[in-house]
Structure 1
Amino acid sequence: MAKLVNISYVCVIFWLILGFGDFVTPAESKAFFVFGDSLVDNGNNNYLATTARADAPPYGIDYPTHRPTGRFSNGLNIPDIISENMGWEPTLPYLSPELRGQRLLVGANFASAGVGVLNDTGIQFVNIIRIYQQLNYFEQYQRRVRELVGEEETQRLVQESLVLITLGGNDFVNNYYLVPYSARSRQYSLEKYVPYVVSEYKKVLKRLYDLGARRVIVTGTGPLGCVPAELAQHSRDGQCAEELQKAASLYNPQLVQMLNQLNNDVGTDVFVAANTNQMHMDFISSPQNFGFVTSKEACCGQGPYNGMGLCTALSNLCPNRDLYVFWDPFHPSERANRIIVQQILTGSNTYMHPMNLSAIMALDSRA
């Protein structure tokens, strides 16, 4: 069975924080736009003929409706929790027919499970919204908003918005390492493939900037070899898969370097890097410190580490999702996502560079 979706896991150390609700006022509300893959898709793939979907139980078991929504989670995902913490109305999938009228002004989620930086990533899923199509939809979105509020207000809404983009893991898991001797692995050594992916990502981010985005949180990959799906296939004695770990160790520093170059090019800190690899390693090394019983075994799945195949109604299902870092073989549980978001909000410069979301909000409120 084909491997499903992204490992660009943004995972974190746990910080004690003050309540964030007092920080946000209605005047500071921003539109919120989301691009990327299954870690942040909140239902776009429900509207597509694709196998990369999460619209059947037990997905959504802990969502407020207790029904599957298309999120690759037992409950809320990272964009949902960011909106919740910021006091914003949650974004809708761009393909949702409910996204119209005043709801457009909240923002939109363009993400699609299975996509990567490269167009040939995720081809096994057939109909997914590849990243340049997501950007085309963003351009279309702006035309729709212009009809609603006019050119000047649309430009202000976009330039003052917050953007989250999560890409990269699928370019390894669902491309380079999808099968032995894949087309990309025959074309490039890993040492040459990584800078190629990063250079293509730079083009994506430049396009996003050209479309008006000025505050963009960019997540890299987590430790690709440490998720239950990879442990099930490649691990010895529960150790992270070495080759995939090497890919992450090469990719993430080069991604940060590229983001620094982009910020230098535009003359301001538009792009914010989340050090997802180190964040997730905190979970891997000390899950008990975060209240988890395991970071190796998925809550929902089958086979070793519950890491084989997909999460379905026939899978093993843990009774308490809060005790597991991973909900399914690839994706964090809602509780892990909540810890992740607190790190995005308040994390130190080691984890959020050059600033965290609280600092972004404080800076923009003074602008």
Structure 2
Amino acid sequence: MCMSIASTTTTSLLLIMESSSVLLFSLVSLLVLSELVQQSEARAFFVFGDSLVDSGNNNYLATTARADSPPYGIDYPTHRPTGRFSNGLNIPDIISERIGEEPTLPYLSPELQGERLFVGANFASAGIGILNDTGIQFLNIIRINQQLGYFQQYQERVSSLIGPDETQRLVNQALFLITLGGNDFVNNYYLVPFSARSREFSLPDYVQYIISEYKKILARLYDLGARRVLVTGTGPLGCVPTELALRSPNGECAAELQRAANLFNPQLEQVLNELNSEAGSDVFVTANAFRMHMDFISNPQAYGFVTSKVACCGQGAYNGVGLCTIASNLCPNRDIYAFWDAFHPTERANRIIVSRFVTGSSEYMSPMNLSTIMALDART
């Protein structure tokens, strides 16, 4: 039996239309994939660590280590608490600003979906340290190994959008920031007299122990694809308002905590040099947070601060006793205070710190500052 000419023509037209639809679908798919890849080419930024860099992950956790109520966020663009331990922007926000990217969202934020993933993610959680027993009083926080686990999960999510090769490229080309160590002293070794860790270790031995644990964390971060990592040492732990209130009858920085920082920081820099030697490139960059803070702690007036001892928000001696709450003393002008609360710098102090990240000499950033990193990486 023969098909009619009309029937043959209809069949041919249907086949052409079907082929065209398949081609059109393929072209649309390629365009979508191309757009996603282009969006991923902006430099991603990943953040790990504690409350100095937490942008709100703890808001999603049942923990007491939270900054989700006023007056936190009073100077943030929305004038609302965001989970940042600041009156406004924190260090990751300002770094994002300086490298021309939008701020990274907390990894637990439901808004971190689709193309927002290509900006990077903030995995930090207030209260954590290098050790798993640091911050146990805060209960449900994202310890560093879990943060790294979430980073693996992040890569799987991005890989489902742009494929494993493009995901690896995004991660390898990204900027990383990790801030750990301070809580291992103030919320562990020195949390209470005769703490478990202080009975187990002398201070020098404890520092050596946490440094060896930190090296494992950084090596794992490298194995997960990190190739440009800013690593902050601890700030001057004995100079924060809470330690002045607890340990300083005359307003001088608490000597024992300063000693801890002075033992920790040089050993951390040595470990970073060792890791770079093993990697054969300058993967890890030391940010001398101790020196960055001491500049304005030693001479607050030179930086436009009226005080570097009294916190803007708090109560008791130096406003360093207890938490910053709606019932606390609150300074009217946050720009003239170096410390926002008992532990954390104001946004203006954070801006001074980040300026050292960006253009600081080798006293602040080793082996290079962020401007040099960006210039070098732009050529490759």
Relative to the length of structure 1, the TM-score reads 0.92
Match of 1:241 in 2: 254
1:303 aligned to 313, 316, 340, which one? 316
1:113 aligns to 2:126 (yes or no): yes
1:50 aligns to 2:63 (yes or no): yes
- Identity of aligned pairs, percent? 76
The question of whether the paired residues in 2 share the 8 Å contact of 1:274 and 1:353 is answered with yes
> What SS does structure 2 have at the residue aligned with 1:272?
strand
1:90-109 maps to which residues of 2 (within 5 A)? 90-109=103-122
Output one character per residue of 1:222-269: Cα deviation in whole Å (capped at 9) or x when no partner. 111000000001002110111111101101111101101110011100
The question of whether the paired residues in 2 share the 8 Å contact of 1:293 and 1:323 is answered with yes
1:65 aligns to 2:78 (yes or no): yes
The question of whether the paired residues in 2 share the 8 Å contact of 1:110 and 1:134 is answered with yes
Match of 2:30 in 1: none
CA shift, 1:279, in A, is 1.6
Q: Aligned letter for 1:274?
A: A
Q: Aligned letter for 1:249?
A: N
The question of whether the paired residues in 1 share the 8 Å contact of 2:40 and 2:118 is answered with no
2:162 aligned to 118, 136, 149, which one? 149
Match of 2:28 in 1: none
What is the CA–CA distance in structure 1 between the aligned matches of 2:84 and 2:40, rounded to whole Å? 30
CA shift, 1:28, in A, is 7.9
What is the CA–CA distance in structure 1 between the aligned matches of 2:292 and 2:98, rounded to whole Å? 20
> What SS does structure 1 have at the residue aligned with 2:72?
coil
Match of 2:304 in 1: 291
> What SS does structure 1 have at the residue aligned with 2:327?
coil
What is the CA–CA distance in structure 1 between the aligned matches of 2:251 and 2:208, rounded to whole Å? 30
What is the CA–CA distance in structure 2 between the aligned matches of 1:128 and 1:173, rounded to whole Å? 17
Which protein is bigger by CA-based radius of gyration? 2
Q: Aligned letter for 1:203?
A: K
1:252 aligns to 2:258 (yes or no): no
What is the CA–CA distance in structure 1 between the aligned matches of 2:181 and 2:237, rounded to whole Å? 10
CA RMSD of aligned residues (A): 1.0
1:181 aligns to 2:194 (yes or no): yes
1:79-98 maps to which residues of 2 (within 5 A)? 79-98=92-111
CA shift, 1:114, in A, is 0.2
1:1-367 maps to which residues of 2 (within 5 A)? 29-367=42-380
Match of 1:18 in 2: none
Output one character per residue of 1:266-289: Cα deviation in whole Å (capped at 9) or x when no partner. 110000001111221111111000
> What SS does structure 2 have at the residue aligned with 1:45?
helix
What is the CA–CA distance in structure 2 between the aligned matches of 1:105 and 1:29, rounded to whole Å? 8
What is the CA–CA distance in structure 1 between the aligned matches of 2:70 and 2:40, rounded to whole Å? 39
Match of 1:4 in 2: none
What is the CA–CA distance in structure 1 between the aligned matches of 2:230 and 2:41, rounded to whole Å? 18
> What SS does structure 2 have at the residue aligned with 1:113?
coil
What is the CA–CA distance in structure 2 between the aligned matches of 1:350 and 1:28, rounded to whole Å? 32
CA shift in 2, pair 1:217/1:264, >3 Å = same
> What SS does structure 2 have at the residue aligned with 1:363?
helix
The question of whether the paired residues in 1 share the 8 Å contact of 2:40 and 2:170 is answered with no
CA shift, 1:338, in A, is 0.7
CA shift, 1:29, in A, is 3.3
**Structure having the larger proportion of residues in helix:** 2
Q: Aligned letter for 1:33?
A: F
The question of whether the paired residues in 1 share the 8 Å contact of 2:42 and 2:119 is answered with no
Q: Unaligned 5+ residue runs, structure 2?
A: 1-38
Q: Aligned letter for 1:93?
A: P
Match of 1:12 in 2: none
Equivalent pairs counted in the alignment come to 342
CA shift, 1:27, in A, is 10
The question of whether the paired residues in 2 share the 8 Å contact of 1:28 and 1:365 is answered with no
Runs of 4+ aligned structure 1 residues displaced above 6 Å come to: none
What is the CA–CA distance in structure 1 between the aligned matches of 2:40 and 2:121, rounded to whole Å? 20
**Range 27-36 or range 305-314, more displaced:** 27-36
What is the CA–CA distance in structure 2 between the aligned matches of 1:111 and 1:364, rounded to whole Å? 25
> What SS does structure 2 have at the residue aligned with 1:137?
helix
CA shift, 1:188, in A, is 0.3
> What SS does structure 2 have at the residue aligned with 1:230?
helix
Output one character per residue of 1:104-162: Cα deviation in whole Å (capped at 9) or x when no partner. 01100000000000000000000000000000000000000000100111000000000
Bigger relative contact order, structure 1 or 2, given CA contacts below 8 A and separation 6+?
1
Q: Aligned letter for 1:351?
A: Y
Q: Unaligned 5+ residue runs, structure 1?
A: 1-25
**Range 152-161 or range 278-287, more displaced:** 278-287
